[in-house]
């Protein structure tokens, strides 16, 4: 394009759109098409670096607990669960720390985060043979004060994993009752 033709194009007045609704409809259609193709919100992938950073924060939180610096421990665990929300152990520790600090509503939210993490882990188990996320759900339900719901889930687990030694020992040994009667458990429970 020459300089003269560039000036001509630049100085020509723009014509108004004859049907402006067509432009709006076209943009809406484009947005819907992109959304349908998966350009919307996706599940956030947790990187290995984030997992390592969360491990470091939890190690620091454990050190803070040994030093009886509960606020520092709670802060580190909060950051760790923000980085790695699929780790139920981090959520459970955070809930326990918040109970210790007297923050019952925060503890409840942390325990619910743990329950969600364990439910997701159980659902993601391709082999359908890993009993740990199921038993941990029972534990967290008891921490939340939903003891009867925990007992009911334990009964379902017994039916789902009839040959599993850990489940049999847990049920036949009445470990659920022993667990909820433990003074340390009662300190962390809501």
List the CATH number of the domain containing 107: 1.25.40.10
Cβ–Cβ < 8 Å for 136, 152: no
Per DSSP, the chain holds a count of helices (H) and strands (E) of 11, 0
94 assigned to some structural domain: yes
Q: Give a yes or no: residue 30 inside a domain.
A: no
How many domains does the chain contain in total?
Answer: 1
| The two structure tokens encoding residue 94 | 């955070």
* Residue 38 included in any domain: no
- Select from 75, 73, 69, 113 the least CA-distant residue to 91: 113
| Domain-located, residue 22 | no
pLDDT, one tens digit for every residue, the chain (190 residues):
555 544 544 455 555 545 544 544 444 444 444 444 444 445 679 999 999 999 999 999 999 999 999 999 999 999 999 999 999 999 999 999 999 999 999 999 999 999 999 999 999 988 888 999 999 999 999 999 999 999 999 999 999 999 899 899 889 989 999 999 999 999 999 9
14 vs 9: CA distance, rounded Å: 10
| Domain extent at residue 61 | 48-188
9 part of a folded domain: no
The Cα 31–Cα 35 span in angstroms is 6
DSSP class of 85: T
Does any domain span residue 173?
A: yes
Between CA 140 and CA 148, with CA 144 as vertex, the angle to 5 degrees is 85
């Amino acid at each position: 394009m020459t300089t003269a033709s560039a000036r001509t194009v630049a100085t020509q007045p723009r014509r108004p759109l004859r049907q402006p609704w067509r432009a709006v409809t076209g943009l809406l259609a484009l947005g819907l098409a992109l959304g349908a193709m998966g350009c919307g919100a996706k599940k956030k992938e947790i990187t290995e670096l984030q997992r390592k950073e969360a491990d470091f924060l939890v190690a620091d939180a454990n050190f803070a607990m040994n030093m009886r610096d509960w606020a520092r421990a709670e802060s580190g665990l909060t950051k760790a669960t923000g980085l790695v929300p699929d780790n139920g152990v981090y959520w459970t520790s955070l809930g326990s720390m918040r109970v210790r600090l007297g923050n019952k509503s925060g503890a409840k939210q942390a325990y619910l985060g743990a329950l969600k993490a364990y439910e997701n882990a159980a659902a993601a188990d391709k082999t359908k043979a890993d009993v740990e996320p199921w038993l941990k759900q029972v534990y967290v339900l008891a921490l939340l004060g939903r003891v009867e719901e925990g007992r009911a889930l334990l009964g379902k687990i017994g039916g789902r994993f009839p040959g599993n030694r850990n489940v049999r020992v847990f049920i036949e040994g009445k470990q659920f009752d022993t667990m909820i009667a433990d003074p340390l458990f009662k300190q962390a429970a809501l």
